[in-house]
């Protein structure tokens, strides 16, 4: 059975729906236009009530949405988490009132009070769609272009899961990814990266509706955006449906049929629309994009739309009834559940694995297995190696037990150490695999991986050089904001990479990533800390983790069992002197070993110096005060922090009597060890810094 | 006279050069191939000596570079700063040895010892090209795609300056922008943004050579990059020369002629090349991209290239002589100088203005003029207004005196307040103007503005919402690394923007930008601080400045004359209590006014509290210790810092007894004032925080 055939029951349902609405305007059944107008009314009124928001897109795309949702979209309002639902991504997220109206009208748990409360504190209807806050919202959008890249990730997840789990006697993964995108999304660079890759991968069950309304915030886009967009997407290998009247339901139906007719290529449907359609004096202008229409224009729009009720938010019962998808939703999910039951009967192990992965649960004994490994490497198998290589070794170790791991790199597979032995590259038409060559596309990679994680079934990790995390920064932020489990492998951290020079040496990046809320940034000091970082990252289900890894070798460090387990606390005492410590050194990553060596030198000179390894400041800060005080006691006032990066975040930890050895300027092109000397970050420099502080303290 | 005609003498020179080399392989004149091989030899040997670097691109593009540089590129090795030189941008900057070889061979001040010192500390030949370090390097490249966007900025600067300064009797601005780009550059999203805009603008004197070698680091790009690149660029409105054999000089000449034949569209020349051409066992594979070839392969390449001398770095005199462009360079610049002298005679004021702008000097009496304005607004014309509006008012004030100001916004002109009264939008074929609608293209905007600034003649400012600085982050970093004068206008800072919610509320961005070395980040508290921030930004010739501006109104604050002048110190006492201060509040931007109000409330309760406004931490940190201690005396231990963003950077300033009122999580969608209450950043919250500390201090 082809995947296309698996969608049979949708087609039937779509046909029924179309039949039901044929010859609109009957007394018994509202016209398509009036159904679309309900979206317009809710969008207008909600923006008016909030005196803030974006009416233009919902009013412009209402007719498209009406056709898509009523005739094609397969979903169940009673169960927004049904795993085989179609995904609808609103990449032009400022048009969120379109989505809220759809969710409300079709019967999701989004009552009218929430619509009335649009953009108010603690409402389920924030100013841009937020994943986790509103049932039916698949991803957080607003930062333009990223929803489109998320959608490519969703479609990839569907294709890969289908390839892995579907069997000839049962296609349990068989759904479509639909995406709305505006001019802004298509101007953004990420649209190039994501759509080029989607075309290459031939993701045929991805359909993007381009809201070609000719307007962006500065006015008519013709003044700054004159791409031949259809030709551009054809150059990516997409099927393009040109010149669709986005206010003509029949034309939209025909375009969607064309899209569904080719499952070997993603489809771009270019819809000519009028922004703010229905607002007689403002439609078609930038004035309708991002501000309330005002009472007069709302009234005029009601008249133009022939909307009978002047009461804000009032929707006639017949329209509510026609939009109500609850019964249909239950039916469509039930059909799938029956199919799934047959599948589970025939393939019980596959089915249980499918369920486990959809729930995001880790394999049984996972933690125990990893901890055994950590202790084994600590005590027996440790070696002096670059942390990027330790990372690869760790992937080699756990990947066979974690089939949901989905790796990839932005064209640095070998350098990042992401191409472990068991990696299987995905490429059309062979979607069975666990690895993607993303190409030099850091931003799309990270946003696509957000889509992969949000879809469910995968734990994605992505990789590039730490410096180029900049290129993807807002997608990293979005992962953190959504609480998505993505693991970001950033190798070649800091000056240790050497000759590639300041463009490639990330002096500010580790600290700058630490500032993103809900992102855990790990900078492991050796093979064992790398194992712990990976373990913590995979076990962290509610947010992303970044691993900053070295290009150069790092010595394997000694630890006893409790010390090794303390790595998970983000910061711990890795070296304690014989006597009561009179000073301490805080270090991370490649600077921990020279810090320990410096403490040894100081011991030889009669100085008792503790060394604290701080692989993850974010996690350390969540430890209770007692533990933190144990590691960094107030009484030890002589403190040196050392990290091959900007010093600002460490100044607090060393306190008024301390000193930070860092790099508050850009790097240089030279061999790594020479740069450590140049920037004063060697064992001798650390020793001198502590000594100088101890002397001034006693002076 | 058209601009094309202005290039007459180049064409003649090109023709001569071609003639001189027709029927190569004569004893008297080295063949084109042997000239190109000199590049290959130097690149191979330099990478070998460093045991690090990228031989593949220089060996692959050597033939293209030979034709371009010897036959077309107009430059003077003795004067790398000659204003009307052609610009050559190597966007695939890992191939820097190509550029260093060219600079060395043609006679720039880059002796062979520098080539031998490739990638060593303090050499002029770093691992990626660095602006300011190597004569003839126009911009720093390495982070892929950005050089291409820089090149678009260079070409735009040329077109705009030509439109402004050229006269019928004298074209003093008339040069070409040539750019080398690889697969990586074209995969990056920024290539879409920049090339879409270049096509829209019809920048016909921009020519990009696409090094289509089919290889990137992960291997054959066919596995992840299957765009029809020529079709893609045609969709942008470019002239595309397809299928050029990048190792056939005649084909390259023909392609360049085609490019030069159409000055209404930028041209992409698609060159099929073999990466590492000449290394018999490694060419055409990813193995030759980024590592030394090894002694055996270097020897084999020498044999394959029929290079007679086995001594590393040895170039025959005849080849040196043929490459030597010093005489030709002097001649071509002299021709231009004579033209310029005639122009200066006919248009003395224009000529002197042209010179001033090329030198980056500000107009006479500039500082005095701005300071008068600052004092006038402080004492008489101040108003309670959003700092984004104060910023616009400031532009209105100074722009008439600063014709080199070149503004623009990523589709947020009205919101960012960048569309001042005197702005003139640039669009083909009318290049006379000072403003660009960049469209929703933050990354290309910022990188293009780097190109504008590097070209000379302009001081660019660019604008978007602060949150979307993320999209451009690496271009901001590049501006800082290069020391480029670009002013980054980032409005809608923090939660004050209200309902747009967490995707648009930048809690971490101000602090995260502060971490970029050599970037000055200003967060002004009112109209006067905004004037100071703009003044400092424009007067800062050696680096970028970012202004974080509010959407919401901020009260105009009282200051006496010395206090107002202290704004330029980055931090200063804005409110001093009647008695000796027992506590202090540090605040920035929108939080300064509530901090002062809180201090007033505390005074009414008998508490003497100082308020420090800290609009630019970067500048404050450069003040001498005495000044810093005057503002933040050690003896005041009760300290509260308040900023509507992440707290990490402030913890050091409040010390062990202080407290930071910040936001260490993502924002929320709600009206701004409500969010200030929600996040505990109101006047009352500040007052309570200080009171609580004072009480615990005395307890």
* Residues B473-507: tens digit of each pLDDT: 999 999 999 999 999 999 999 999 999 999 999 99
ipTM of the complex: 0.96
Q: 3-state DSSP call for residue B95? A: helix
* Residues A434-443: tens digit of each pLDDT: 999 999 999 9
Task: Report the relative pairing of strands B435-437 and B459-465 from DSSP bridges.
Answer: unpaired
Query: In the structure, what pLDDT confidence band is assigned to residue B699 with cuts at 50, 70 and 90?
Result: low
Same domain, B681 and B638: yes
Identify all chain B residues contacting A671, using CB atoms and an 8 Å cutoff: 52, 119-121
B494 in a structural domain: yes
CA atoms within 13 A on the CB side of B268: 29
Identify all chain B residues contacting A516, using CB atoms and an 8 Å cutoff: 508, 512
The CA distance from A269 to A261, in Å, is: 13
Q: What percent of chain A has pLDDT over 90?
A: 94
Range of the domain at B295: 32-163+174-327
| Contact of A221 with A227, CB cutoff 8 Å | no
Q: Measuring CA to CA, which residue among A457, A258, A262 is closest to residue A357?
A: A457
| Contact of A319 with A30, CB cutoff 8 Å | yes
Identify all chain A residues contacting B123, using CB atoms and an 8 Å cutoff: 669
**Mean pLDDT within A125-142:** 98
Q: 3-state DSSP call for residue A243? A: strand
Bridge partners of B386, per DSSP, are B553
Q: How far is A665 from chain B (nearest CA, A)?
A: 5
The CA distance from A457 to A359, in Å, is: 8
* Residues A46-68: tens digit of each pLDDT: 999 999 999 999 999 999 999 99
Of the three residues A327, A350, A379, the one that is the final residue of a domain is A327
| Contact of B17 with B69, CB cutoff 8 Å | no
Residue B515 has pLDDT above 90, yes or no: yes
Given A48, A442, A591, A643, the catalytic residue = A442
* Residues A507-547: tens digit of each pLDDT: 999 999 999 999 999 999 999 999 999 999 999 999 999 99
A534 in a structural domain: yes
**Mean pLDDT within A413-438:** 97
Cβ within 8 Å, pair B52-A499: yes
Same domain, B422 and B455: yes
For an interface test with B, the pick among A411, A463, A518 (most B C-beta atoms closer than 10 Å) comes out as: A411
Q: What percent of chain B has pLDDT over 90?
A: 94
CATH number at A506 reads 3.40.50.970
Same domain, A127 and A248: yes
With residue B639 as reference, give the H or E element that holds it.
Answer: strand B638-642
Same domain, B116 and B257: yes
The CA distance from A170 to A500, in Å, is: 52
B148 in a structural domain: yes
**Greatest Cα-to-Cα distance within chain B, rounded to the nearest angstrom:** 96
Same domain, B496 and B606: no
Q: Measuring CA to CA, which residue among B135, B139, B46 is closest to residue B93?
A: B139
Same domain, A373 and A314: no
* Residues B639-695: tens digit of each pLDDT: 999 999 999 999 999 998 999 999 999 999 999 999 999 999 999 999 999 999 999
A344 in a structural domain: no
A21 in a structural domain: no
Of the three residues A548, A583, A605, the one that is the final residue of a domain is A548
Residue B3 has pLDDT above 60, yes or no: no
Q: How far is B218 from chain A (nearest CA, A)?
A: 5
Given B442, B529, B582, B691, the catalytic residue = B442
Please say whether the dihedral angle defined by the alpha carbons of residues B493, B494, B497 and B502, taken in this order, is positive or negative: positive
- Is B138 tagged catalytic? no
Task: Check residue A440 and report its DSSP letter.
Answer: S
The CA distance from B202 to B350, in Å, is: 26
* Residues A266-312: tens digit of each pLDDT: 999 999 999 999 999 999 999 999 999 999 999 999 999 999 999 99
Cβ within 8 Å, pair A191-B192: yes
Residue A322 has pLDDT above 90, yes or no: yes
The CA distance from B611 to B614, in Å, is: 10
A239 in a structural domain: yes
Query: In the structure, what pLDDT confidence band is assigned to residue B160 with cuts at 50, 70 and 90?
Result: very high
Cβ within 8 Å, pair A217-B412: yes
Same domain, B194 and B245: yes
* Residues A640-678: tens digit of each pLDDT: 999 999 999 999 999 989 999 999 999 999 999 999 999
Of the three residues B484, B518, B548, the one that is the final residue of a domain is B548
* Residues B560-574: tens digit of each pLDDT: 999 999 999 999 999
Residue B66 has pLDDT above 90, yes or no: yes
Same domain, A158 and A299: yes
- Report the number of distinct structural domains present in chain A: 3
| pLDDT given for residue A27 in this prediction | 55
Query: In the structure, what pLDDT confidence band is assigned to residue A7 with cuts at 50, 70 and 90?
Result: very low
* Residues B547-563: tens digit of each pLDDT: 999 999 999 999 999 99
* Residues B204-214: tens digit of each pLDDT: 999 999 999 99
Alpha-carbon distances of B514 from A652, B122, B480, B632, rounded to whole Å: 16, 27, 11, 20
Same domain, A509 and A618: no
| pLDDT given for residue A6 in this prediction | 34
Q: What is the pTM of this model?
A: 0.96
Identify all chain A residues contacting B50, using CB atoms and an 8 Å cutoff: 499
Average pLDDT taken over every residue of chain B: 95
Query: In the structure, what pLDDT confidence band is assigned to residue B697 with cuts at 50, 70 and 90?
Result: confident
CATH number at B682 reads 3.40.50.920
Same domain, B100 and B157: yes
Residue B136 has pLDDT above 70, yes or no: yes
A643 in a structural domain: yes
Q: Is A418 on the interface with B (CB under 8 A)?
A: no
A563 in a structural domain: no
Q: How far is B655 from chain A (nearest CA, A)?
A: 7
Residue A146 has pLDDT above 90, yes or no: yes
Same domain, A319 and A383: no
Residue B534 has pLDDT above 50, yes or no: yes
Cβ within 8 Å, pair A666-B473: no
For an interface test with B, the pick among A184, A470, A678 (most B C-beta atoms closer than 10 Å) comes out as: A470
Q: Is A141 on the interface with B (CB under 8 A)?
A: yes
Identify all chain A residues contacting B185, using CB atoms and an 8 Å cutoff: 440
The CA distance from A81 to A355, in Å, is: 12
| pLDDT given for residue A166 in this prediction | 98
Same domain, A203 and A252: yes
Residues 433-462, chain B: which have Cβ within 8 Å of A? Answer: 436-441, 443-444
């Amino acid at each position: 059975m082809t995947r296309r055939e698996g969608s049979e029951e949708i087609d039937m349902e779509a046909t029924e729906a179309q039949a039901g609405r044929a010859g609109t305007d009957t007394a018994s059944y509202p016209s398509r236009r009036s159904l679309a107008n309900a979206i317009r009314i809710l969008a207008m009124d909600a923006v008016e009530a909030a005196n803030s928001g974006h009416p233009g897109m919902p009013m412009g795309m209402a007719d498209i949405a009406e056709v898509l949702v009523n005739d094609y979209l397969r979903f169940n309002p009673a169960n927004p988490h049904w795993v085989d639902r179609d995904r609808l991504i609103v990449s032009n997220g400022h048009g969120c009132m379109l989505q809220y109206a759809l969710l409300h009208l079709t019967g999701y748990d989004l009552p009218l009070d929430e619509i009335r409360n649009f953009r108010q504190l603690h409402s389920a209807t924030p100013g841009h769609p937020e994943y986790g806050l509103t049932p039916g919202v698949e991803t957080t959008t607003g930062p333009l272009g990223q929803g489109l890249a998320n959608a490519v990730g969703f479609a990839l997840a569907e294709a890969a899961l289908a390839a892995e789990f579907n069997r000839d006697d049962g296609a349990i993964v068989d759904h479509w990814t639909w995406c709305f995108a505006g001019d802004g999304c298509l101007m953004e660079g990420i649209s190039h990266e994501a759509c080029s890759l989607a075309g290459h991968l031939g993701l045929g069950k991805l359909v993007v509706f381009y809201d070609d309304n000719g307007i962006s915030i500065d006015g008519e886009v013709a003044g700054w955006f004159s791409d031949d967009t259809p030709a551009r997407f054809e150059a990516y290998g997409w099927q393009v449906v040109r010149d669709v009247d986005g206010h003509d339901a029949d034309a939209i139906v025909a375009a969607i049929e064309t899209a569904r007719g080719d499952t070997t290529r993603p489809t771009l449907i270019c819809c000519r629309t009028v922004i703010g359609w229905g607002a007689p004096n403002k439609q078609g202008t930038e004035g309708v994009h991002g501000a309330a229409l005002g009472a007069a224009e709302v009234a005029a729009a009601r008249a133009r739309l022939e909307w009978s009720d002047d009461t804000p938010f009032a929707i006639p019962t017949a329209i509510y009834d026609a939009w109500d998808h609850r019964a249909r939703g239950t039916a469509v999910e039930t059909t799938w559940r029956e199919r799934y039951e047959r599948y589970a009967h025939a393939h019980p192990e596959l089915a249980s694995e499918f369920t486990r992965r959809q729930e995001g649960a880790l394999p049984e004994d996972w933690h125990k297995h990893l901890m055994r490994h950590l202790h084994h490497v600590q005590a027996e198998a440790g070696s002096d190696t670059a942390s990027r290589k330790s990372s690869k070794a760790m992937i080699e170790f756990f990947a066979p037990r974690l089939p949901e791991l989905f790796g990839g790199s932005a064209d640095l597979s070998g350098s990042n150490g992401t191409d472990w032995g068991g990696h299987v590259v995905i490429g059309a038409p062979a979607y069975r695999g666990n690895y993607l060559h993303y190409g030099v596309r850091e931003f799309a990679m990270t946003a696509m991986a957000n889509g992969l994680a949000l879809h469910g079934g995968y734990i994605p990790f992505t990789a590039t050089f730490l410096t180029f995390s900049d290129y993807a920064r807002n997608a990293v932020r979005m992962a953190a904001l959504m609480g998505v489990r993505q693991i970001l492998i950033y190798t070649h951290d800091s000056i240790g990479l050497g000759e590639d020079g300041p463009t490639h040496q990330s002096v500010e990046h580790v600290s700058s990533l630490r500032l993103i809320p809900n992102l855990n940034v790990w900078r492991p000091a050796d093979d064992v800390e790398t194992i712990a970082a990976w373990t913590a990252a995979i076990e962290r289900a509610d947010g992303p983790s970044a691993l900053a890894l070295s290009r150069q070798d790092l010595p394997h460090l000694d630890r006893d069992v409790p010390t090794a387990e303390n790595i998970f606390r983000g910061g711990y005492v890795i070296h304690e002197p014989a006597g009561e410590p009179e000073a301490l050194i805080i270090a991370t990553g490649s600077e921990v070993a020279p810090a320990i060596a410096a403490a040894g030198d100081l011991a030889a000179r009669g100085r008792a110096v503790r060394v604290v390894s701080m692989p993850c400041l974010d996690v350390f800060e969540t430890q209770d005060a007692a533990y933190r005080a144990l590691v960094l006691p107030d009484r030890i006032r002589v403190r040196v922090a050392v990290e091959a990066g900007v010093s600002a975040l460490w100044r607090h930890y060393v306190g008024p009597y301390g000193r930070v050895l860092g790099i508050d300027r850009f790097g240089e092109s030279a061999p790594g060890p020479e740069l450590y000397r140049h920037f004063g970050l060697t064992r001798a420099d650390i020793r001198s810094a502590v000594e100088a502080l101890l002397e001034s303290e006693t002076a």
